[in-house]
Each structure stands twice: as C-alpha cells, then as structure tokens.
Amino acid sequence: MNKDDFLPHDLKVALGEYKAAKSCIYRIEECLTNGDLIEAKLTINDLSKSIREIEKLQEKKRRNDDFASMAHQLAACGILSKIV
C-alpha cells in the first residue's frame, strides 16, 4: 500500500481496510483448505467491500490532487480560485 495514494486524514481508514483485506485473503485460503466454500464466498464479499473502500479513498485523493492542480494553474494565470 502506498501512503501517497491517500489524503493524510484518510490514511488510518485506508490502513484499516488494507489490513481487513489481507485478513480476508488469509481466511479465504483457510476456508478453501478446509473445504468450507460457503464461508469462503462470504469472505470474498468482505474482501470486495474492503477493496471498494480503498478504491474510494484513492479516488478521493485523486480528485483532491486534481482540484489543487487546477487551483495552482488558475493562480499562475492570475485568477484567484476564491473568485471561481
């Protein structure tokens, strides 16, 4: 996991989701080894949820970076972002 992919105030949540995803992977392996396919499927759903949350947080950072870049470009042209 790359810390630069997340806003600083979202990093704790992202790390929690990352740990949850890793835990799910381990549980899925255990379930498959034990032949518990139903529990494996349920855990796959949990893994998917954690991955979606990580993706949302990455997208939030990307949008924030895009906005900051646009504001910087506007300022370089002499346009105050406060006015826009």
Yes or no: say if 43 and 29 are a contact pair by the CB < 8 Å rule.
no
* pLDDT score for 60: 98
Averaged pLDDT for residues 37-51: 98
Instruction: Map out the domains of the chain as residue ranges.
Output: 3-59
pLDDT > 80? residue 41: yes
* pLDDT score for 5: 97
Instruction: Give the tens place of pLDDT for each residue, 19-31.
Output: 999 999 999 999 9
* pLDDT score for 53: 98
Amino acid at residue number 80: L
pLDDT > 80? residue 79: no
The residue among 43 and 84 whose pLDDT is bigger is 43
Cα 70 from Cα 76, distance rounded (Å): 10
- Give the alpha-carbon dihedral of 19, 22, 26, 32, to 10 degrees: 130
